[in-house]
Amino acid sequence: MAVISILFVLISVIYYEQVISQALFLRPSFKKMEEYIGVLFVSNDEKEIKEYMSKVNILESELLESVKAMSNAFLLIQVLCFFNLMYFFS
């Protein structure tokens, strides 16, 4: 039972590392998107709003797969932590 628990912990660590590396990779893109959205909130020019909305949509489509992969890794980590906790209590 200890071997299975250690295996769950090791797999969790690998996926944590994957999530951390993806988060560091995506951080500049999210900062850029936050900047675009900040301009959208204060802008009154319809042309500028359309331009920044298209930039946000393009950036969103580029980041979609990476964010989905990171989200799936978090879900797997959650399941593994649950299994590890169950082994700990048993």
Render pLDDT for 24-83 as a digit per residue (tens, 0 to 9). 888 998 899 899 989 888 888 889 989 989 999 999 998 898 888 888 888 888 887 787
By the 8 A CB rule, do 67 and 26 touch?
yes
Angle, helices 2-42 vs 46-89, to 10°: value is 160
Q: How many residues does the chain have?
A: 90
Number of domains present in the structure of the chain? 1
pTM: 0.64
pLDDT at residue 9, as a whole number: 79
By the 8 A CB rule, do 26 and 66 touch?
yes
Domain coverage including residue 78: 2-89
